[in-house]
Amino acid sequence: MPDEHRSHMTTELAKAWKLFESDDPQGSMRTLRFAAEELASAEIAPLVAKLADGAGFADLAEASTGLAARPREVESLYVFGYACVERGLAALAVPALREALGLVLTPPEPKRTGLFRRKPTQRTDPKLTPGRVLLELVAALEAADRNAEATDVLRAHDDLLEDWPGRYLTVYNALMSGRIDIARPVYAALSAPDGIWVDPGQRVGRMLDRAADLPPSGDTDLRGWHYVLTGGLLTTLSPHGFHEGMHGRWAYLQDEFESCRYGLERLRSVLGAAGRKPASIGLLADRGSRALGLAAARLLGIPAAPYRPGTPNVLVVAYDLNACEPESVVALRDRAEGELLFEHATCWTDPPFATADVSTLLVQHVVAPWESRLSVVENGEVEQTEADERSADDLAEAILAADPTPQEGDGQSPPDSDEAFTAFAVRATARWATGPRHRINSPGPVHSARFA
């Protein structure tokens, strides 16, 4: 290893220790995450143990202590990586699990036990097979949204895989990284799934069917890939920062009533393209969703009532499913006959349990129009405004009274005309709103800038 690279590694680890000792555990962990690929897992383990102990993560603290004591042991690397994945630290898990895979695939060095006899070194846990370590590495790569790397490592070690889950994961990760040409032949060769693998097998099959019907135009086609992977229709694209890496998504958005109104207009276009006329609007309990649902009911001229699971031909309306009662969102995973789910602001970094059939926009963090927000006052200073405490009925009227004209944007992002969107919706609705509403954890092949 070049001296300058080793020096950089030492500097990053020293920086992480200094932040920890300065009572900044978040900054310390952030430094470790960003430098994880350059730092040896065993070298960071003592610091991770202290950070984990401070956070109350006893399993990770124990695994880190074990790795520090046994730095070149497959089992200690595996246990550390597994604990990191469980605690949302996939960036730390990947290097450890990659090293564990390399070790478990390397024939053990024979150990001399007598003058003329050699006995191979035994692994600590005979159940820790190469296939098991490989699948945990893939789980870590998936958790880090590194699906292309997961695809490559699965293909490189195809001889370790069985169809379920191994080669199914090749299909899944190939799709999430935009490599339909890899996913399709592997899927076609899979044996028939049974048990818990029937549902995932059908899910990737539907993805491939949608990709065949309406192929995305490239790795920046956010609407096309959103449809292929989720089955949902994304009705608007952010008009800001497309060429700076957002590609149609929002990172932070202070939403406006106008955006809600425009989202309802595009929802109406989807219903027209699909020839769907919902019998009623299903109102969710939170004030924002209720307001948007009441506005949708008045705009579409259909009755509204509190959402009841199992209601046929209902259009369920949510402002942000992550802000809804979890029980209601869980109930929306399996659709009733003719049921549709509309969500205005869909979180793309922490997707809700049920994926909406129609989403107005994809955002990392949204501030609803009625929530307290930052505002620039006359002297140029920024202040926090008070929340809009009006009732859901009053908010619904404000939405309907708003101008449904979209934002002009930065002038550099691609146009998103009503005509182009409607044409896409007409083509997509042949396979739209069918099957369970699976949560898709990966952002897919279209990458966007996000908060760390």
CATH number at residue 343: 3.40.50
Both 251 and 183 in a single domain? no
Residue 70 has what pLDDT? 97
Both 271 and 152 in a single domain? no
Torsion 351-356-357-360 (CA) sign: negative
Domain membership of residue 292 as a residue range? 222-431
Residue 109 has what pLDDT? 67
* pLDDT > 80? residue 432: yes
Q: pLDDT category, 416, cuts 50, 70, 90?
A: very high
**Mean pLDDT across the chain:** 93
Per-residue pLDDT, averaged over 7-18, amounts to 83
Lowest mean pLDDT segment, chosen from 59-73, 192-206, 429-443: 429-443
Both 226 and 208 in a single domain? no
Per-residue pLDDT, averaged over 185-204, amounts to 97
Both 17 and 88 in a single domain? yes
Lowest mean pLDDT segment, chosen from 111-115, 133-137, 185-189, 389-393: 111-115
Torsion 152-156-160-162 (CA) sign: positive
As a dihedral over the C-alpha atoms of residue 152, residue 157, residue 163, residue 166, rounded to 10 degrees, the angle is -60
Both 286 and 427 in a single domain? yes
Both 179 and 318 in a single domain? no
**pLDDT above 70 covers what percent of the chain?**
94
Per-residue pLDDT, averaged over 434-451, amounts to 92
| pLDDT tens digit sequence for 177-187 | 999 999 999 99
Both 316 and 364 in a single domain? yes
Both 94 and 157 in a single domain? no
Q: pLDDT category, 115, cuts 50, 70, 90?
A: low
Residue 348 has what pLDDT? 97
Per-residue pLDDT, averaged over 14-22, amounts to 96
Residue 418 has what pLDDT? 94
* pLDDT > 90? residue 7: no
Residue 116 has what pLDDT? 52
Q: pLDDT category, 5, cuts 50, 70, 90?
A: very low
| pLDDT tens digit sequence for 297-309 | 999 999 999 999 9
Both 152 and 254 in a single domain? no
Look at residue 448 and tell me if it is in a domain.
Answer: no
* pLDDT > 70? residue 319: yes
In the chain, the number of structural domains is 3
pTM: 0.91
Residue 285 has what pLDDT? 96
Q: pLDDT category, 126, cuts 50, 70, 90?
A: confident
The 3-class secondary structure across the chain, one letter per residue, is CCHHHHHHHHHHHHHHHHHHHCCCHHHHHHHHHHHHHHCCHHHHHHHHHHHHHHHCCHHHHHHHHHHHHCCCCHHHHHHHHHHHHHCCCHHHHHHHHHHHHHHHCCCCCEEECCCCCEEECCCCCCCCCHHHHHHHHHHHHHHCCCHHHHHHHHHHCHHHCCHHHHHHHHHHHHHHCCCHHHHHHHHHCCCCCCHHHHHHHHHHHHHHHHHHHCCCCCCCCHHHHHHHHHCCEECCCCCCCHHHCCCCCEEEEECCHHHHHHHHHHHHHHHHHHCCCCCEEEECCCHHHHHHHHHHHHHHCCCEEECCCCCCCEEEEECCHHHCCHHHHHHCCCCCCCCEEEEEEEECCCCCCCCCCEEEEEEEEEECCCCCCEEECCCCCEEECCCCCCCHHHHHHHHHHCCCCCCCCCCCCCCCCHHHHHHHHHHHHHHCCCCCCCCCCCCCCCCCCCCC
Residue 123 has what pLDDT? 47
